[in-house]
Amino acid sequence: MREIVLDTETTGFEPEQGDRIVEIGAVELWNHLPTGKTYHVYINPERSMPADAFGVHGIGPDLLEPPQEPEKGQVTLKDKPVFAKIGQGFLDFVGDARLVIHNASFDMKFLNAELRWMNLPQLPNEQALDTLAIARKKFPGSPASLDALCRRFGIDNSNRTLHGALLDSEILAEVYLELIGGRQPGMELNTMPQQSVGQSSDDDWRPRPRSTPLPSRLKDSEAAAHAEFVAKLGDGALWNS
């Protein structure tokens, strides 16, 4: 199963009031394991950057009023592509994969607004899985922010001094795997695609049953001692079932 863990950074809270996306970061998972494939882009929002939003993510000092000289590590946006230039590429990357998002309604609202303005297909809301909702259901009454979940699961987020879409999506991928039961939910250790009966492959490493079972290594005296011990437990002993 292919999943995309995704995060965005924006100029504010409401696209219908003129706010825009300035960064998209995403991490690909296959069967709940990172593939190493990511998507990351900064976007020119074609508007100024509110000071409050800049204080959250530190992106776009050149769009402040008045503009600021970027400090080390700060990203300027005037030279970045507008959404119209990256929209189709973003959709191609996402495809029909499940979108794993913390507070999904916020990001989906912005993504679909940007896509709609470009006359591009919308992302169905049912394609998104909201980790915030999962966390609130799993830990009712407890803080469910990304930072709070990192503390709960012992995930290192020390590099998260400011919000950043790619870093946050990488952290969220770890949080998501913990929320659903760890890196191998259900103890399904084989992450390779299952083959149909009768198929074989040189890459199929799974062990086959032995043609002849190994002989028992239990001595007759050990078997007799075990039987004597079980007899002392009575008729209700689990060993008798």
pLDDT in tens, 190-231: 444 444 333 434 444 445 555 666 677 778 888 888 888 878
pLDDT value at position 218?
72
Gyration radius from the chain CA atoms: 26
Residue 111 has pLDDT above 60, yes or no: yes
Q: Is 130 in contact with 104 (CB distance < 8 Å)?
A: yes
Q: What does the mean pLDDT of the chain come to?
A: 87
Q: Residue positions in the annotated binding site for a divalent metal cation?
A: 7, 9, 168
Q: Which residues are annotated as a binding site?
A: 7, 9, 57, 168
Lowest mean per-residue pLDDT among 44-48, 131-135, 179-183, 211-215: 211-215
Q: Is the pLDDT of residue 109 over 70?
A: yes
Structure tokens at 218: 């239990």
Task: List the domains of the chain with CATH numbers.
Answer: 2-183 (3.30.420.10)
Which two tokens mark 241? 């079932």
pLDDT higher than 90, residue 178: yes
Known binding site for substrate: residues? Answer: 7, 9, 57, 168
Strand 21-30 to 2-10 pairing: antiparallel
Cis peptide before 66 (omega within 30 of 0): yes
Please write the tens of the pLDDT for every residue from 63-103: 999 999 999 889 999 999 999 999 999 999 999 999 999 99
Question: What pLDDT does residue 223 have?
Answer: 81
- Tokens at residue 188, please? 């399904």
Catalytic annotation, residues:
163
List 23's β-bridge partners, or say none.
9, 42
Strand-pair category, 128-130 with 98-101: parallel
The whole-model pTM stands at: 0.75
